[in-house]
């Protein structure tokens, strides 16, 4: 089920996502711009960081969408039980389906941690 934004917020979120597409590698920048918009609708909205948990994999690997890129982490925003980022679009993906929908890693090989996008070192 898609995340239900007001029309104004939907437009704001889509504009930000279009400015930070998946191939840009700017997920952290998008993760800084979305929480203020999302908190107007969900006070608990926060940045989330996806990393390999140190088991069988070193990197979170996106499911193929074009040229393969390797990142040490990925940033998304948790809002109303959904993850919202350039992979999901403004409609988001339910958090319990996010990893298996957008990553080729076994979900058990990744971890999702809450992170404050204003603290730069938490995005490294």
68-105 in b/e burial notation, b at 16+ Cβ within 10 A? eeeeebbbbbbbbebbbbbbbebebbebeebbeebbeb
Q: What is the pLDDT of residues 108-121, one digit of tens each?
A: 999 998 876 554 44
DSSP annotation of 63 reads P
Please say if the pLDDT value at position 71 is more than 90: no
pTM of the model: 0.88
Which residues sit opposite 114 in a β-bridge? Answer: 48
pLDDT (tens digit per residue) in 4-45: 899 999 999 999 999 999 888 899 999 999 999 999 999 999
Q: Report the percentage of the chain scoring pLDDT > 70.
A: 88
H-run or E-run covering 76 = strand 73-79
Question: CA–CA separation, 58 vs 43, rounded Å?
Answer: 33
């Amino acid at each position: 089920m898609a995340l239900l934004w007001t029309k104004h917020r939907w437009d704001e979120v889509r504009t930000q996502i279009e400015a930070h597409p998946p191939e840009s590698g700017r997920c952290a920048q998008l993760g800084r711009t979305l929480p203020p918009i999302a908190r107007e609708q969900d006070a608990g909205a926060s940045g989330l960081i996806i990393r390999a948990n140190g088991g069988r994999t070193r990197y979170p690997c996106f499911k193929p969408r074009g040229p393969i890129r390797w990142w040490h982490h990925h940033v998304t925003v948790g809002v109303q039980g959904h993850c919202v980022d350039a992979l999901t679009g403004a409609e988001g993906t339910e958090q319990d389906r996010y990893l298996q929908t957008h990553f080729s890693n076994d979900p058990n090989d990744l971890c999702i941690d809450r992170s404050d996008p204003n603290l730069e070192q938490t995005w490294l």
